[in-house]
Structure formats: structure tokens, C-alpha cells
Structure 1
Amino acid sequence: MLNVATTVTASEPQPLLALNDNERPDPREAYLEWLAMEARLLRIELYGEAWRDRETAPCNTAAQSFHFPHDRTWQDVPPPSTRAELVLATVGALPRLTQ
């Protein structure tokens, strides 16, 4: 059987995603897609038409210590997959995946 996830609007529900009964989207893949699109859109905001020339990530910013703390190795901190559902829920993307 096929289930269709929907979003409810003022007019009528709109299908978002078709799933088989035993299938649930992996939030880690949704998170990866979301991160990639966030990065692309942020590059467009920052660099305008030249965004394609700036596809590398900045280094040595204030955020570096989040993934590479001074007192531990990167393997000792929680991996990105542990934040996937929390971030997606926080930005409002997760409800579309689980309905």
C-alpha cells in the first residue's frame, strides 16, 4: 500500500512525499540534503553570481571548535547524524518527513 504524506494548508492538503508502508525517509539523508541546499543558498546570498567560484567552505572561523574542540578529537564529539532530527525539527523541515 502507498501512503502519501501531506501538508495542510488553508485550502486543501497537498501531497509531499509518497512512501511504501515499510519505508520511512532517513532523517540523516534529509539532513544532508538540507545542509547542501543551505550551503548553496548561503553562498548565493554572500557571493551573488560568483557563488559557484566559492564552493569551498571557509576555514578557521569561530565555528571550527564545534567539530574540532581543543580538548578532544573530532571522533570524541557527537557526529552530525545525532543532530539531524533536532535541526530538521527546529527549522520546520521534519514534520514533512514524518506525517
Structure 2
Amino acid sequence: MKIDGHLMDKQRDALTSLVTLFCVSAFVKRDVGRMRLERSTEAKINMREGHESTSEEPVKNCVCSKVYDPVCGSNDKSYYNICQLQCENKPGTVHVLHQGNCIPF
């Protein structure tokens, strides 16, 4: 019976470690995503998919959704979502290559 108790202790320790790892990774992912979004957007007007700007400059004061939906731009830069891509670049200069982060070579 002592062996069974020892195995149960190991299983409990492993489960505790997994739960702790999951919680820590959730907080790290959330904070990294928030930092990327805050760094790239500084609030005043809303951009939406398909918005066409007549300006030759990137939109400086965008408010983008906090929904993480990464896209890879034609400049090989990953963006938090399509709104961020549109806000940071001159109209017509960078387009979405594919959904998801860019893969570095």
C-alpha cells in the first residue's frame, strides 16, 4: 500500500506543476499581447477592415480591437491584427500575406 500512496503523491505533484505552468503561461501570453497592442495603437479613431485612407501617412491615432488575430504583412512583419497593420503603414504599401505570425528564416 505504501507504493500506491507514493504514486498518488507523484501524480498530485505532477498535476500541481501542470496547473501552475498553465496559469503562468496564460498570464505571460496575455501580458505580451497587451504590450504589443499598446505599443502599436494610441487611440482616437476606429479603423476597420477594408477602410481606405486618402492620406499618404500611416494613421497615427488608431483604436484597434484587442482581439488577437495575427497577420503577416508583406514587409515580413507580424501584426497583432489587420487593424494594427493598417494603422502602422501608409495606405497601399503593406498588405496581408497570410493569417498568423510571419515565420522568420
TM-score, normalising length from structure 2?
Answer: 0.25
Say which structure is richer in helix: 1
When Rg is computed on C-alpha atoms for both structures, the one with the higher figure is 2
Name the structure, 1 or 2, with higher relative contact order (CA <8 Å, separation 6+): 1
